[in-house]
């Protein structure tokens, strides 16, 4: 958090940049107001990089276009009905939105947009006080009518109007509260927390696509755990991702097992750490983070209390994979994400058999083959899944996985493991056996692939001889 004096200096510097200055002068010359609003102002106080330039103005959309077009290399309409025009000015993307005063009829989620005349009324409609500050241009005057600076200093999320009113207007703001909790490291006000709990059901009025997008934004923060806790504690997760709170299993005095919910949050945190370590500077890996968070969602359905106080979760990997696939489809995730996450969950236990006895080269090949293009993520997920406090056990698992990765690397170098295929192609099989395309070709291909897995490369001549022997005896 910057001091107020430092924030003022940053705002002055921002206002003096070429893009902001040229727009401020152009709107003033046209007789219209202009102000930087929301994120850029908030981030100046927080000392965070300013990545978006969002403006608000009393000019209507047509007037905005008339002012901006001579200055811009391109302009586009991102929501003219909502008063927003985007443009590329001096190499920077900007969005300029007319003052608004949204009115909700209580029947639908879409507001009736009414353009406003004052910046004060426009700020009232915004989600949180820390996002309801503006820098009036070219005067460089801070407009903060809802106590945003005080809330920034207190690291608190509060709403410009009563939280219940704000969240009834747009229930997705409750998920944004969770995201900002994680992104900014803030806590929510008591009013916000109570409203989230009381209005949790209203999140079901939001489209699955908007819920998905906000969930991804939360997961893609540097440390999403506190935001996830807020969604679970408020009851919102029960409506959008019920498998998550379901992992808070009761533990009785006779049967003890690891807290599945807390374990999953720890795995998520560790996966983000491995992600940063192995791919520094890359964009957040949403697939890995989803898999880490959901990898044990099959445990509630498979929990069995065994004699002597033990608890088992047999096949929770397979059950969890199916549950994840169903939930991600309901949230309208794309097919590639659904397939990748469900596959990682299905395979996340496979490695633990490695510590029980040495794997043959064939077993290592199958591990790589089954992981396919998810192998790198499977490495990170499996390592993240070690949350034991027993240092000796953790070291043993870590050394075992180091060994597995080393063996994969050696085999890959020796055998081009990444492109695992039989020694003969489908065309070769049809030519050698004199058969047309069909099921028999697939069976032959799988036979040769298994031989390749078990023994490594055979060579075309040996592969052909084995194929002919297999074909001659397959119906015997």
Domain count for the chain:
4
Task: Kindly list the distances between the CA atom of residue 420 and the CA atoms of 241, 339, 372, 377, in Å, as whole numbers in the listed order.
Answer: 37, 20, 9, 19
Q: Are residues 143 and 5 in the same domain?
A: yes
Final residue before a domain boundary, out of 101, 121, 149: 149
Section 219-231 average pLDDT: 97
Query: Domain range spanning residue 411?
Result: 247-419
59-73, 213-227, 397-411: which range is least confident on average?
397-411
Instruction: Give the pLDDT band of residue 52 (cuts 50, 70, 90).
Output: confident
Residues 444, 361 within the same domain? no
Pull the structure tokens for residue 93.
């993307």
Asked whether residue 265 falls in the same domain as residue 375, the answer is yes
In this structure, the answer to whether residues 194 and 269 fall within a common structural domain is no
How far apart CA 360 and CA 465 sit, in angstroms, is 25
Q: What is the pLDDT of residue 226?
A: 97
Q: State whether 161 and 66 are in the same domain.
A: no
**Model confidence at 405, in pLDDT bands (50, 70, 90)?**
confident
Give residue-wise pLDDT tens across range 123-173. Answer: 998 999 999 999 999 999 999 999 999 999 999 999 999 999 999 989 999
Beta sheet of 84-89, edge-to-edge order: 72-79, 84-89, 92-98, 53-57, 34-37, 134-137, 141-143
Mean pLDDT along residues 421-444: 85
Residues paired with 157 in a beta bridge: 188
Q: Residue 24's domain is classified under what CATH number?
A: 3.30.460.10
pLDDT for residue 76: 87
What pLDDT does residue 424 have?
A: 87
334 lies in the same domain as 378: yes
94 & 75 share domain: yes
Higher pLDDT, 278 or 331: 331
Residue with tokens 């990765």: 405
Is the same domain home to 313 and 366?
yes
Q: Are residues 209 and 223 in the same domain?
A: yes
Rounded distance between C-alpha atoms, residue 149 and residue 368, angstroms? 53
Mean pLDDT of 83-97: 93
Q: What is the reported pTM?
A: 0.81
**Lowest pLDDT segment from 56-70, 112-126, 254-268:** 254-268
The four Cα atoms 12, 150, 130, 266 give a dihedral, to 10 degrees, of 120
Which residue from 431, 235, 215, 201 is spatially nearest to 330, judged by alpha carbons?
A: 215
361 falls in which pLDDT band (50, 70, 90)?
confident
Tokens describing residue 143:
């407009």
Is pLDDT of 224 > 60? yes
Q: What is the mean pLDDT of the chain?
A: 88
pLDDT at 110 over 80: no
- Domain boundary at 114, 149, 184, which? 149
Say whether both 28 and 65 belong to one domain. Answer: yes
The reply to whether 20 and 35 lie within a common domain is: yes
Give the model's pLDDT for residue 410. Answer: 78
> What is the predicted pLDDT for the residue at 258?
63
CATH code of the domain containing 166: 1.10.110.30
Specify whether 167 is located in the same domain as 126: no
- pLDDT-derived band at 267 (thresholds 50, 70, 90) equals very high
240, 264, 287 — which closes off a domain?
A: 240
Q: Which residue has the higher pLDDT, 441 or 272?
A: 272
């Amino acid at each position: 958090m910057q001091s107020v004096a430092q924030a003022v200096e940053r705002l002055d510097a921002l206002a003096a940049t070429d893009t902001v200055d040229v727009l401020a002068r152009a709107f003033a010359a046209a007789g219209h107001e202009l102000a930087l609003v929301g994120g850029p102002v908030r981030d100046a106080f927080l000392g965070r990089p300013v990545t978006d330039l969002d403006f608000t103005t009393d000019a209507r959309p047509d007037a905005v276009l008339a002012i901006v077009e001579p200055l811009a290399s391109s302009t586009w309409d991102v929501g003219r009905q909502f008063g927003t025009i985007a443009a590329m000015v001096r190499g920077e993307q900007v969005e300029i939105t007319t003052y608004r005063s949204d009115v909700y009829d209580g029947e639908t989620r879409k507001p009736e947009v009414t353009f406003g005349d004052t910046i004060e009324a426009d700020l009232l409609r915004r989600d949180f006080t820390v996002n309801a500050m503006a820098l009036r241009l070219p005067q460089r005057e801070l407009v903060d009518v809802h106590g945003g600076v005080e809330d920034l200093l207190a690291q608190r999320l509060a709403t410009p109007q009563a939280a219940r009113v704000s969240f009834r207007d747009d229930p997705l703001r409750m998920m944004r509260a969770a995201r900002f909790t994680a992104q900014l490291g803030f806590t929510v006000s008591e009013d916000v927390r109570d409203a989230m709990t009381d209005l949790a059901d209203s999140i079901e009025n939001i489209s699955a696509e908007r819920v998905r997008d906000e969930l991804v934004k939360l997961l893609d923060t540097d440390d999403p755990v506190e935001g996830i806790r807020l969604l679970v504690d408020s009851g919102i997760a029960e409506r959008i991702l019920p498998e998550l709170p379901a992992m808070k299993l009761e533990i009785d005095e006779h049967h003890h097992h690891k807290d599945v919910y807390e374990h999953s949050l720890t795995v998520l945190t560790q996966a983000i750490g491995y992600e940063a370590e192995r791919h520094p500077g890359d964009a957040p890996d949403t697939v890995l983070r989803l898999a880490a968070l959901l990898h044990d969602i099959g445990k509630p359905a498979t929990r069995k209390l065994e004699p002597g106080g033990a608890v088992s979760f047999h096949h929770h990997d397979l059950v969890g994979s199916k549950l994840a696939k169903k939930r991600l489809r309901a949230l309208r995730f794309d097919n590639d994400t659904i397939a990748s996450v469900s596959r990682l969950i299905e395979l996340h236990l496979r490695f633990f058999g490695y510590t029980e006895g040495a794997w043959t080269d064939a077993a290592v090949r199958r591990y790589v083959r089954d992981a396919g293009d998810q192998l790198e993520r499977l490495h990170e997920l499996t390592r993240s899944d070690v949350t034991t406090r027993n240092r000796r056990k953790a070291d043993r698992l870590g050394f075992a996985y180091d060994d597995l990765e080393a063996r994969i690397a050696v085999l890959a170098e020796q055998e081009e493991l990444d492109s695992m295929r039989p020694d003969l192609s489908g065309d070769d099989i049809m030519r050698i056996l004199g058969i047309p395309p069909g099921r028999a070709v697939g069976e032959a291909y799988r036979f040769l692939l298994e031989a390749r897995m078990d023994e490594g490369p055979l060579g075309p001549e040996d592969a052909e001889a084995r194929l002919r022997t297999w074909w001659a005896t397959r119906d015997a």
